Structure 1
């Protein structure tokens, strides 16, 4: 079957199902073949939900009943020019499996009339959700929205839909983290807190059992932090140089089953001789698997979506001291790959049954118009893939031998049940049990949690119990001193992190004994968190602690150890520097040099940017697209094909692909008379007005417009800058606007 015939049959099938759907709230479960999909041997891939129950899903979460809640970004790029983006057609839906066969057979809308919603999280008994620019929290009352609270009006106030904050993932430390963001969130005593954290990734965020965070960007399949959040960013005047935002593998190779359309396929090296993509270009939605259902060698593997080539990658994570590295699991294939061109995995999630859930947007276009090249636009149109809309899938991956776990009844679980669940094999269950214990505020849990800490042999369980106590305001210094001496470096690390809170100060003798004991273990992970804690101990005990910190720092040459020390010193830099002056250690000399910079920044008030920037700026191509739609599209068309009798085409025009100065002069001063574009003569009666005297257009605005035009209708983004635009404002035509001959003569002279 040809590609267009296949798309036509898919569209007809969808229309037929939707016609039936209009008559009944409970639809027949769609039968969808997965014969075009290859999955790793031993694993099963199945469709859990599909159209008409959902459309264009981008994220999911599970409630305490195990039901799937979906975020459906229905307005995203429904056409090649994407004018539908402002339509309030996005929804958050609840998917249900009423007959218990594991396949969704019912759907109901929880929230509708949303514009490009992008993330949700079940927290604090309600739903946190992102609809740009806002982050909202809404109470849930019998599956209907209740009281609504604005958490952050600047959550996603600028940026392209592909480059705005998303994720909303509750971590083990009781903070909610995001991708494409430098803020984290928490609610305490009914008050929402927002504080800076390091900037992470582009689309999707995940965590491992220790609480390290992982993410990626479109050309880097897996990135992450070596260490726990905010260890390296606690000094407002110091930006760490290592340890966060790390590329965990330099191998970005993909192994697709077929040739696919990608945005810059015309560039050398993007495709191989068989027109197959070489390296990932749209990686997103990572998941570190913690579900307990896969075999042991798959635990804490990092899975990554590559929707442009219809596949999901698998990476093996290795932990060595604080450092994390990744390696592709295969050198000639992928964990999941398909020849179904509509398969667009954009996010991965662990489920309450231990399965790995794949959010499949299932559509033809996954490239936003601000970044789409004319190369891709033309090929999508020619193939008919731009007509593949109105669909969406949720797939589930499970291991055939193990079988899916029974979903626990969290709704009716009592305190003892929830405490026991902190030892569950499935990380999703542990996470939710911890949060439910905190949300219910049952102080009687304190005794059971402390007992669990003393008796459990699993470091993950102990860490969950510690943060459950912390969330209940029931954690005490004595407990932390005990767990800080634990045999597990992971438990020690979290205990030291919690001990940094001034409310857990203890007797100096007890902490000094602990410090000596931990240093004697010479464990790289423990030493890292000890070094990060020296600033706190320095404030408590003064210069008596300096000799120990200097000695420990000298043992490690890696920059992230120095970053940990300087970050933890916040406010004590001068004292520490004075104690280091006589050291000949290269590591200490490096620290002194960096401390000089911190002290200078403190004097001038120059802070680490995450502490000063309230939100992320709008990127140039997205800004350029907005300017184009508002100023140029009426005459040149949303797709750059021009309007007959009004304006010539821009797509592949020599005015776009040629000299940037010529394009800038046209934009500034306008153009009149006949002109030739792509070898065709256009007799234009109307004169194109220039932007020279438009007070709403700055020099940088024109640069951004040029950047968008050259990317969308040329072959690449070409160089221009505000200084050039400022100079060209004075290069004015003789009679109000340039003619083609005058303009070409001017450019030839230059």
Structure 2
């Protein structure tokens, strides 16, 4: 869903009201003073957007040759699906956001009428024929995930566990309790934590969040850095800090690496396993996420119904694609395809839905040296497009039958009221996209036409011995589910068979899945680690080192030797060796070797500093107290000091200190700057650039102009190019944001995250007032070239 800042301005300030708004209280928070809400495409040229039957909707799809789209479940068996998980029996558990934006003002949105439903294909014909409403009193449900004994789900604020009781095939809720009261507290519905993806390492990860969760046996020792937050008769739940990532949706590849997206760019991938750079308690680097391909989209219908469609550059201006969206503006739950139905060449590709453009985009994920990149599967085309403006694909899933399931919210209004412009409201009214918005929904299957969807298995009824072969199944859903079940069941007695299975296997994916199953069971042994660290496959060797981090102290000397062996085997193995050495004491010779041998390779500095753990002093002594690399010495000399917290506060005047404190609250609150630029000013891919080492902060007048009137288009920040469809709006029209407030925000960002631009002073209210007066006639956001 599209991200913009919150603005408050009555349509009356914009001049004449649209006819539809004259008799209503038409106030839209996304409007900006002076913006011409013009129809760039005359309305008589825009295709209508009637509600389509499923049969009609299928005719409106264009899908690449070889693929077919099939309905799995449609209204009245599903309504406004936004998230889903499959239980071990292959049943769909769906979060239905049935009160989201019923009209342009969101009236009634906070009614507790959202559902968690269970959808079943009882007769095995591939279509759902049984709907069970499991819970029906949820405010805007956004998360659903399977866990031992029940489910996790989240509403507008909290994360819950609900026990699932089943008798004679009928499902009922048992114990229902809050497990994290502030899981999704604060913020807008478009920008709250979601997902609870069960990762390869047994932690549940989330988008739009820096929290992870894990269930443990009631008597189990807590992992370092975690805290217990809840317990029931099945398990206790612990929470810990992880890297902040994504906006909506989360996916994983066969190695356990995570993928997510910003709303103005497609899928992003992390080159390292989650938490790789957080091994050192005194070191807090950011985990970079690489953009998989460019930001451009190729719809099959006009897309004037986007929030900033009136602005230059949002829509194609002329030619055969006139009126079509240029780039992502509402990228949603991306997916790494890991199923068994498509031809092998598609395995591992990244898929991203763009509900504002009514399409699914496909990119190959390309592994480089220390980075992930992408290339289009279909250059200047999409995998799937729709002629139906109400087609809103918001999440994608690898399914038990080997195909991909598409969640279509089938909702006329996509943009939330907190950001909605009067331009978009007019578009919505003109095509009656505000009608019947909470009574429809579809889930489709994307299948390779020549391959039938596999029969949905019931893994819940399998014994542990029956689950073991599934760790090597070609469909990742079966591998992931078998691993989770074995770990939840505490199947330690199966460990010898798992070791035997992976030692006989030639399949790297099966070996990696087996290694992490042993890890989750607490059954990693030295012999297994030793067997796979020399493996010819980089990812297998690195996984063996990663799981080896839990080896007992008696094995540390041998593990130390294995890590040195790994470090001497080339990049990226040396990268993993530098990370995993954090698990033992006295491994600084590995760190020193990796640093000296691979200094100029990606992530090496961060991996070495992270992997030092508590051995930093020994390492400094080993390098004779100084190392000929400024970045390494900076990190070593500042261990224990969060780089993100680097501040010039003490050097400010008393006035400056007061403004700084106000600005910090505004940055993370009313002005919503953190949503696009990050809590620590490091930027968010596809949304807003970093403030670290940003030349855009140096000139007071330039900064004031941007804060007042916004900035659009791509820009350079230092050596980095930020290419995004997101538009930074200005605050000039905000009645609730004063010149003093803007001076406070400016003072905060000019003196945080390593910036020291107002020592002995501050950015004053009077200076802002002068720039406001000077630019009073400005009607559109600035572009980078305006300041060259």
Kept in 1: contact 2:743–2:765 (CA 8 A): no
Kept in 1: contact 2:668–2:674 (CA 8 A): no
In 2, Cα distance between equivalents of 1:134 and 1:104: 30
Deviation at 1:6, TM superposition (A): 6.6
| 2:619 matches 1:592 | no
In 2, Cα distance between equivalents of 1:81 and 1:309: 22
Deviation at 1:589, TM superposition (A): 4.1
Kept in 2: contact 1:356–1:398 (CA 8 A): yes
Deviation at 1:306, TM superposition (A): 0.3
| 2:344 matches 1:296 | yes
User: SS where residue 398 of structure 1 aligns?
Assistant: strand
Q: Which residue of 1 aligns with 2:580?
A: 533
1:21-32 map, 5 Å = none
Q: Which residue of 1 aligns with 2:245?
A: 200
Task: Choose the corresponding residue for 2:309, options 265, 271, 274.
Answer: 265
Going from structure 1 to structure 2, the CA distance change for 1:218 and 1:127 (only over 3 Å counts) comes to same
TM-score (normalised: structure 1)? 0.76
Deviation at 1:4, TM superposition (A): 11
Structure 1 gap segments, 5+ residues each: 14-29, 607-612, 625-657, 662-705, 732-743
Q: Which residue of 2 aligns with 1:576?
A: 619
> Deviations along 1:318-351, whole A, 9 cap, x unmatched?
1124421112222221000011111000000000
1:400-415 map, 5 Å = 400-415=449-464
Q: Which residue of 2 aligns with 1:456?
A: 505
Task: Choose the corresponding residue for 1:256, options 288, 299, 302.
Answer: 299
Q: Which residue of 2 aligns with 1:637?
A: none
> Deviations along 1:161-183, whole A, 9 cap, x unmatched?
11000111101111111110101
Task: Choose the corresponding residue for 1:116, options 122, 140, 153.
Answer: 140
In 1, Cα distance between equivalents of 2:765 and 2:279: 49
Q: Which residue of 2 aligns with 1:146?
A: 174
Q: Which residue of 2 aligns with 1:739?
A: none
Deviation at 1:277, TM superposition (A): 0.9
| RMSD between superposed Cα atoms in Å | 3.5
Kept in 1: contact 2:282–2:641 (CA 8 A): no
In 1, Cα distance between equivalents of 2:323 and 2:159: 42
**Count of aligned residue pairs for this structure pair:** 618
Higher helix share: 1
User: SS where residue 394 of structure 2 aligns?
Assistant: strand
Kept in 1: contact 2:281–2:640 (CA 8 A): no
Deviation at 1:554, TM superposition (A): 3.5
1:152-301 map, 5 Å = 152-189=180-217, 190-240=235-285, 243-249=287-293, 251-260=294-303, 261-273=305-317, 274-301=322-349
| 2:128 matches 1:104 | yes
Going from structure 1 to structure 2, the CA distance change for 1:68 and 1:39 (only over 3 Å counts) comes to same
Q: Which residue of 2 aligns with 1:378?
A: 426
User: SS where residue 478 of structure 1 aligns?
Assistant: helix
Deviation at 1:618, TM superposition (A): 5.1
In 2, Cα distance between equivalents of 1:721 and 1:161: 29
Task: Choose the corresponding residue for 1:362, options 378, 401, 410.
Answer: 410
Deviation at 1:184, TM superposition (A): 0.7
Q: Which residue of 2 aligns with 1:443?
A: 492
| 2:105 matches 1:81 | yes
With 557-566 and 576-585 compared, the bigger mean Cα shift is at 576-585
Deviation at 1:411, TM superposition (A): 2.3
1:576-725 map, 5 Å = 576-581=619-624, 588-598=629-639, 620=671, 710=733, 722=741
In 2, Cα distance between equivalents of 1:4 and 1:313: 23
Deviation at 1:386, TM superposition (A): 1.5
Going from structure 1 to structure 2, the CA distance change for 1:266 and 1:486 (only over 3 Å counts) comes to same
User: SS where residue 135 of structure 2 aligns?
Assistant: strand
Structure 2 gap segments, 5+ residues each: 1-43, 218-234, 648-663, 676-704, 709-728, 746-761, 767-772, 778-788
Kept in 1: contact 2:120–2:130 (CA 8 A): yes
User: Computing the radius of gyration over CA atoms, which structure comes out larger, 1 or 2?
Assistant: 1
